[in-house]
Amino acid sequence: MFFFKEALRGLRRSTAPALAAMLTVLITALVLGVFIPIVQATMGAASDVRDRVVVDIYVAEGASPAERESAQRAIERTANVRSVEFISKDEALARAREKNPRAFREGSELLGSNPLPASFRIVPDDPTKVGQVVDRLAPKGPEGAREPQLTAIDEVRYREEDTQQILSVTGLVTVVTGGLALLLVVASVALIANTIRLSIFARRREVEVMRLVGATNWFIRWPFMIEGVIVGFTGVALAVVLLTAAKESVLEPLSDRWAFLAAPDTIAYPLLVGLLVLAGVAVSAAGSGLTLRRFLKV
C-alpha cells in the first residue's frame, strides 16, 4: 500500500510526463488494435487463396469401378495429399451448368450426352510442393509430356502457370504483412519505453537523492514500476473504449452491407483487448524498471 500511495504521489508531482506517457500508450494501443485484425484478415485471405491450389486428375473413360477405387487409394497414399474428392460425370456437369448455365445447356443439347469426364480433385497439404504430387502421379516422359502411372488416370492437370502466380503473390503478401506487423510491434515497444524513459529522466534528481540517503534499489524501483502499470493500464483502457465505440458504431453496421468487413478469421475482440492490456501494462512497467537501472548507480 505504501508503494501504491507513493506511485500516486509521483504521478501528481509529474503530471506532464505521465500524461505524455499515457497518450503514447493510448495511440500505440489504438494503432495495434486496428492493425492486428487487418494483418490477420490479410494473411487469412492469402491462406484461403493458397488453399485453392488443386490438382485435377481425369479418370479414363473405360476405367472400371474397381480400377477407379484402386486409383483413389493410391492417390490418397501419395505424399503431400491432404484430401481427395471424387467428382462423377453427373456432378461435373451439374457444377459446370451452375457456373455457366446457358453454354452447357446448349452444349449438352448439341452433343446429346454428358461430355465431361469423371475426375479426382486433390488438395495438397503444402501448396508450394504441389508439383511434387503431379510428378509422382504423372511424371514427364522423354518428350516432356506427362505420362500417368495409374491405368485409371487419363490426364493430370494443375494449371502450373496460374499456380505459380498464386503462390508467388500470396507468399509476397504474407512476408510483407508479417514484416510490417513485426516492425510495428518493435516500434510500439520502443516508443512506449522511450517515453517512459524521458518521464523518469525528468525525475532523476529525486532518484539520486533517495539513493544517497540509503534507500535500496527495489524500494526506489517499486513506486516507478507501479506508476508504469497505472499509466499503461489507463492508456490502454482509453484505447479500448475508443476501439469499442468505433467497432459498434462504424464497423458492425458496415459489415452487414459489405461481407469483406466481417473478417470471420480474425482474433476475437475480447482476446484482442486482453492482449492490448497485458502488453501495455507489461511494457510500461518493464520500461520503468529497466530505465531506473542507470540512475540507481550513484
Domains of the chain in sequence order: 2-48+167-294 (no CATH), 54-157 (3.30.70.3040)
Query: Of 15-19, 36-40, 154-158, which gets the smallest average pLDDT?
Result: 15-19
* CB-based contacts of 103, cutoff 8 Å, min separation 6: none
Residue type, 67: E
Task: List the one residue out of 173, 85, 78, 67 whose CA is nearest residue 122.
Answer: 85
Distance of alpha carbon 7 from alpha carbon 229, whole angstroms: 10
Query: Where does the pLDDT of residue 87 fall: very low under 50, low under 70, confident under 90, or very high at 90 and above?
Result: confident
For residue 222 the three cell numbers come to 517499486
pLDDT digits (tens, 9 = 90+) for 211-235: 677 667 667 677 777 777 888 888 8
pLDDT average, residue stretch 159-163: 67
pLDDT at 228: 77
Whether the predicted pLDDT of 202 surpasses 60: yes
Strands (E), the chain: 55-59, 81-87, 119-124, 153-157
Whether the predicted pLDDT of 194 surpasses 60: yes
User: 121: phi > 0 → left, psi -120 to 50 → alpha, else beta; which?
Assistant: beta
Helix (H, G, I), strand (E, B) or coil at 187: helix
pLDDT digits (tens, 9 = 90+) for 100-133: 766 655 555 555 567 788 888 888 888 878 888 8
pLDDT at 199: 67
Mean pLDDT value across the chain: 75
pLDDT at 280: 80
